[in-house]
A and B are shown apart, each in its own frame.
Chain A
Amino acid sequence: MPGRPSGAFRTMVRKEIMANLVSYKFFIVILLTSVLIFTSLFVMARDYKSRLADYQLIRPKPGEPIAVLAPNPLSIFAKGLDEAMTRSFEVNALGIEVRAGQQSGNAIFAFFPAPDFVYVVKVVLSLVALLLGFDLVSREKETGVLRLMLSNPVSRGTVLAGKWLGNYLSLAVPFVLVTLLGFAVMGLDPQIEFGLGGALRALLLLSVTLLYIALFLSLGLLVSTLTKKAASSLIVLLLVWAVAVFVLPNLGTLLARQMVDVPSVKALSEKRQQIWTREVLLAITEGRGKGAPVWDAARKAHFDAVNSEFDKLEADYRMKFDKLVRLSKNINRISPAASFVYAATEMAGTGISEEGFLKDSVVRYKNIVLKEMDRGEKIHAAFAYRYRSVGQVLAQGGLFDLAWLAVFAIAFFAFAHTAFVRYDVR
């Protein structure tokens, strides 16, 4: 490369940042991002605190055979399935009775997804990154700046990389500052305790976010190098964005359902009621009026039958459902938005896999409690659940999602580079 490449590169980066700082576009998108992030953190923190207050009311007393998880403080950032994970699982002779928390009482929750940090990033920040990237090449071609720039002895690669980095920094730096400020305010709240592990997970979440933004900036750059007019670049990007963020992941799940035969939850619950009812009847018919020992034996035999059939149903459902989850995950990963959501929620401990592990753990707990009940014990062991460690999360799909996002980001940039080298700047 002729001249001082690093100097030219630095100039490019500085030029992009300076240009952004004085533009209306930059002002309004940063304003929007900051307002949304603060609003989201405030609202979700209040939600967390009210769920925590509920948890204090419902936490099991020592000896009660009840499994309830405290709400996860990281659900402030990634709500995910925390609502499902913090239900109360109450073990009795016939298995697990479930009670759901507050949000099943307000039907409007079911209409719209939770406005947490992950949602803001998934939807709004990706859009903002595209808005920064869409006219990087085509606008400068329209205004003639690109021609002037390339008449200097700088390589096109340097120009493109400089543009990318300049815009990335102008978005990422304010975003990280705003987010860290938000995290710090949360950290100062005495009711919200992240602990060291939580803080680490939050930082990991932030880095996934940065990767996700990089991806969309690269995509913007790519489309910008493929179009001659900034206006058409924007239209293409908006449509691609809408499809990637809204259409693909939502359609993918539905598509997966048509390939894997999973019984509906309603069907399963009806089956359970039928089994239970049948065994109650059989127990009564066998044991009625034949004295306590016969009745107790019949009762025991049929309750055991209920439990073992429930377990079978449960295992069968879980097997099929896991298959569905795997398939839908793999289909949805076509869209980086889905990969991002999976990685972010699993890191926060509110993802689909974590929920599965929790359920396994609840089933094991139920079996322990039932054995204790058989022995006539009235005081039961407490339920404990350890969230998977960050290492486990990364090993079980997290790393794949991260790599997948990185591959997208790099591939988009590489294509952008190829297109830019051949770009007609006249």
Chain B
Amino acid sequence: MSSDKELQALCESGRYENAFSLIVQQYSQRLYWHIRKMVLLHDDADDILQNTLLKAWTGLSTFRWESQIFTWLFRIATNEVLTFLRKSKSLKQMPLEDRLDADQSLFTGDQIQKALQKAILRLPPKQRLVFNMRYFDQVRYQDMSRILGTSEGALKASYHHAAAKVEETLKELLL
């Protein structure tokens, strides 16, 4: 596990390719799951991950190392996800809830897990991000605040509100 200081030293000595290989090894899985939980389908998640890594690669030389590389990468991924969801909505693609039913090749969960995913999908995209990050990945509010650029108080309120809504929807779906 490389620290930010090691990565910074590699970049400052001009060895960007080594630094980036380490970043991919260290963060690609977490980034992928962060994206996948938002877009649900593997192909979409793969496309967004590639865009995220490409942007990270081209922006690595301008990264200031004042913030953690982890928050920077997650911020890029989050922006890519939100852009993707906006585009999907404007293109009037099949709703994610229906796509989850249609493509179950890479969904191994049971009925209750599927119901939970459907309940989460009924949240607005930004609230969904907050819920997923906190509920599944236990991301600290402090880190979430840096990634999403929102105050910790607002994030806590958003999560508790989202959790109440998901709980209610889940009960409805499982009746």
Asked if A and B bind, the verdict is no
Chain A residues with CB under 8 Å of chain B are: none
